[in-house]
A and B are shown apart, each in its own frame.
Chain A
Amino acid sequence: NAGVTQTPKFRVLKTGQSMTLLCAQDMNHEYMYWYRQDPGMGLRLIHYSVGEGTTAKGEVPDGYNVSRLKKQNFLLGLESAAPSQTSVYFCASSYNLGGTGELFFGEGSRLTVL
């Protein structure tokens, strides 16, 4: 049982390049999330999804797009990377939104934008 898997784990981009981070979960969770983690700050929600085919904006959505074409996958895209998007990105999934639902995180994807 892999849980939540993120790929790639590391990536270096030049300013203006595009890329996609892939998140896959095998727990049949409806809810999936993308967070970014920066030094000295708490995890911040970028986008989330409450089910296949649905997405919604979080706290810091600018510069990112997401898609949830299949229930098990949640993709995070950067169309034109900027140095401010250098961060560690975490995907998470849960069986409900908020409440006492357990949140399961992936191992993170470290992105550096030069």
Chain B
Amino acid sequence: KNQVEQSPQSLIILEGKNCTLQCNYTVSPFSNLRWYKQDTGRGPVSLTIMTFSENTKSNGRYTATLDADTKQSSLHITASQLSDSASYICVVSTDYKLSFGAGTTVTVRA
């Protein structure tokens, strides 16, 4: 069983709307949690990295939250744009190992 579970698997939203992606993990000991954006046919690109002591971090219209007590994270996309159509991958790190979620595919429609 994957130690990093993401939901939903996929979602479709209208341009300009907001959405929230979820990531639950069981990885231990926890070092940091990362969100990556992967455009179709491209490699993943880092959006945010959060350590244990950080509970929110923003990168433009992307805001990630972390609850290390419940082992949950979310990625909120505000005022979505067509260019936000991509797969979003949650990655949880111990000191020496990265565990990847399967990703959430977001499709933004005009």
In the complex, chain B residues whose CB is within 8 Å of the CB of A97: 96
Contact A98 B31 (CB under 8 A): yes
Complex alpha-carbon distance, A98 and B32, angstroms: 9
In the complex, chain A residues whose CB is within 8 Å of the CB of B98: 45, 98, 103
Contact A100 B95 (CB under 8 A): no
Contact B100 A105 (CB under 8 A): no
Indicate if A4 sits at the interface (CB-CB under 8 A): yes
Residue from B31, B41, B46 within 8 A of A103 (CB atoms): B46
Q: Assess A102 versus B46: contact at CB under 8 Å? Given A40-B102, A42-B4, A42-B102.
A: yes
Contact B97 A41 (CB under 8 A): no
Complex alpha-carbon distance, A103 and B4, angstroms: 18
Contact with B along A76-114 (1 / 0, CB 8 A): 000000000000001010000111101101111000000
Contact A98 B43 (CB under 8 A): no
8 contacts between A and B (CB under 8 A): A42-B4, A42-B89, A42-B103, A98-B95, A100-B32, A100-B49, A103-B34, A108-B43
Indicate if A43 sits at the interface (CB-CB under 8 A): yes
In the complex, chain B residues whose CB is within 8 Å of the CB of A108: 41-43
Most buried by B among A45, A92, A97, A99: A99
